[in-house]
């Protein structure tokens, strides 16, 4: 069955161009001209992925993400003419999964779409249930619980946590985590993974300022503590791991 992509852009020419190209690539495409209408279309069509412009009338892309993420988990790729890194970071912090900057090549955009869809709908591998201490990740049901409490994660946050939990204790460099999430089609912007880590911590950590689960290994990257680690004390944190 063809994957459904929702294109949200206030420019008719852009919507038409993307619809025609992506339809020719085998996708089912629906469109909306602003965030408000996109919410209605999303409710009716349940898209597998959203291509989202930021600057739009009535409701911009940022507000769309805030409202959309309350109910839906489908991945979002920002398609924006804004070049400032802060604009991209804001989108990622709100729950977007990736971004491309206008002007962009259609081949690049298609590759990014396929990469995001692969990592959010990939077949179950090895263990479907991952458990580290009181954190349980179920790949079949696509949910995460901590001490019995269900935690809502975006697709990128879910996949990032799965990467950590497959090999708890292993230290991952930022570039390695980016490649795990986005395959070969990723931009080497380390700030992107930092945003995803910050969002993940805000949802799973009792105190995100002093993380117990996803820990920063100074000068190297990140790791997920093993069930036998316990909680690092202040002295250990200052010596080896920074929150």
**Which CATH number goes with the domain that contains 42?**
3.40.50.2300
Q: Are residues 160 and 226 in the same domain?
A: yes
Q: Are residues 78 and 61 in the same domain?
A: yes
pLDDT of residue 141: 87
| Residue-range definition of the domain harbouring residue 17 | 4-121
Range name among 7-21, 125-139, 201-215 with the lowest pLDDT average? 125-139
Last residue of a domain, one of 102, 121, 140: 121
SS3 track for the chain: CCCEEEEECCCHHHHHHHHHHHHHCCCEEEEECCHHHHHHHHHHHCCCEEEECCCCCCCCHHHHHHHHCCCCCCCEEEEECCCCHHHHHHHHHHCCCEEEECCCCHHHHHHHHHHHHHHHHCCCCCCCEEEECCEEEECCCCEEEECCEEECCCHHHHHHHHHHHHCCCCEEEHHHHHHHHHCCCCCCCHHHHHHHHHHHHHHHCCCCCCCCCEEEECCCEEEECCCCCCCCCHHHHHHCEEC
Q: How high is the mean pLDDT of the chain?
A: 83
pLDDT tens figures, 14-41: 999 999 999 988 899 999 999 999 999 9
pLDDT of residue 228: 52
Q: Are residues 157 and 73 in the same domain?
A: no
115: pLDDT strictly greater than 60: yes
231: pLDDT strictly greater than 80: no
Mean pLDDT, rounded, for 117-141 = 77
pLDDT tens figures, 166-207: 888 888 888 888 877 766 554 555 578 888 999 999 999 999
**Which CATH number goes with the domain that contains 226?**
1.10.10.10
Q: Are residues 162 and 210 in the same domain?
A: yes
pTM of the predicted model, to two decimals? 0.59
């Amino acid at each position: 069955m063809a994957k459904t992509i929702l294109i949200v852009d206030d420019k008719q020419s852009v919507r038409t161009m993307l619809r025609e190209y992506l339809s020719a690539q085998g996708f089912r495409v629906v469109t909306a001209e602003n965030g408000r209408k996109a919410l209605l279309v999303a409710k009716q069509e349940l898209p597998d992925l959203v291509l989202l412009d930021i600057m739009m009338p009535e409701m911009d892309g940022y507000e769309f993400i805030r409202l959309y993420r309350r109910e839906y988990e489908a991945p979002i790729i920002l398609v924006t003419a804004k070049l400032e890194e802060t604009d991209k970071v804001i989108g990622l912090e709100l729950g977007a999964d990736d971004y491309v900057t206008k002007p962009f090549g259609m081949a690049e955009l298609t590759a990014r779409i396929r990469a995001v869809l692969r990592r959010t709908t990939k077949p179950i591998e090895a263990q479907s249930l991952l458990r580290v201490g009181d954190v349980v990740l179920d790949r079949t049901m696509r949910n995460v619980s901590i001490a019995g409490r269900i935690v809502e994660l975006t697709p990128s946050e879910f996949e990032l946590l799965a990467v950590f939990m497959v090999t708890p204790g292993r230290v991952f460099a930022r570039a390695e985590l980016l490649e795990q999430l986005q395959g070969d089609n990723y931009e080497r912007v380390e700030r992107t993974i930092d945003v995803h880590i910050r969002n993940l911590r805000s949802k799973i950590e009792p105190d995100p300022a002093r993380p117990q689960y996803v820990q920063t290994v100074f000068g190297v990257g990140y790791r997920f503590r093993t069930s036998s680690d316990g909680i690092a004390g202040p002295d250990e944190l200052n010596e080896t791991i920074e929150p």
